[in-house]
Chains A and B, each alone.
Chain A
Amino acid sequence: GQQLNQSPQSMFIQEGEDVSMNCTSSSIFNTWLWYKQEPGEGPVLLIALYKAGELTSNGRLTAQFGITRKDSFLNISASIPSDVGIYFCAGHVNFGNEKLTFGTGTRLTIIP
């Protein structure tokens, strides 16, 4: 099946720094979603994007749906310790099965 290329694979940053990660695909998606997974838990939805070019914020998180519909970006401003986790992008195409294609994840570690 399709796969999304998510980068970077891991990030080590200091508290207070801003974070940027992205997801790219060789094919078009109609919806982009960003999830966060903490240890021992399932992914939790952070932001959903439905239109090319859309920029959406959720607190310190901002995500954008790329104009080409083949990429998406997630930024976290002023990181705090509870931002630690694995961030996944997911894309959806309207084939009628509600199938999400997931990226391989970005592991975020915050150095005290």
Chain B
Amino acid sequence: EAQVTQNPRYLITVTGKKLTVTCSQNMNHEYMSWYRQDPGLGLRQIYYSMNVEVTDKGDVPEGYKVSRKEKRNFPLILESPSPNQTSLYFCASSYQRASSYEQYFGPGTRLTVT
């Protein structure tokens, strides 16, 4: 089954404790992206990757890091989480071709930073 998976689905942590949220897709998509969703603000892009070893900042990259060492995986790293990073996070992927901008989303990771 074609899908985007994220782990963990729920995470409660404390300020300053480094964490990683994993994202994996089995559709051989070139493009992957991370979003955060906050009430009243919709989905905002954190980082994206056009292909292996190619990443760039989205609209709200502060406090986050990413890496793209393999095509299927795109982990999101919070080196020193803070309470304002409490949010619902989504990973998404799509093909990199001019005729398709249809992104497929994972199930989400709800992060609480105390």
- A residues whose Cβ falls under 8 Å from a Cβ of B: 1, 3-4, 6, 31, 33, 35, 40-45, 48, 50, 88, 90, 92, 94, 97-100, 102-105
Contact = CB atoms under 8 A, between A and B. Distances in A.
Question: Which label, helix, strand, loop or mixed, suits the secondary structure of the B interface?
Answer: strand
B70 interface: no
Given A42-B107, A104-B42, A98 B101 contact: yes
Given A33-B102, A48-B102, A98 B96 contact: yes
Nearest to B92: A42
Contact of B31 (A31, A41, A98): A98
Given A1-B59, A88-B42, A104-B42, A98 B33 contact: yes
Given A33-B102, A98-B101, A102-B43, A42 B48 contact: no
Contact of B104 (A40, A45, A90): A45
Contacts of B24: none
26 contacts: A1-B45, A1-B59, A4-B42, A6-B42, A33-B101, A40-B107, A42-B90, A42-B107, A45-B104, A48-B100, A48-B102, A88-B42, A94-B98, A97-B48, A97-B50, A98-B31, A98-B33, A98-B48, A98-B94, A98-B103, A99-B45, A99-B48, A100-B45, A102-B44, A103-B42, A104-B40
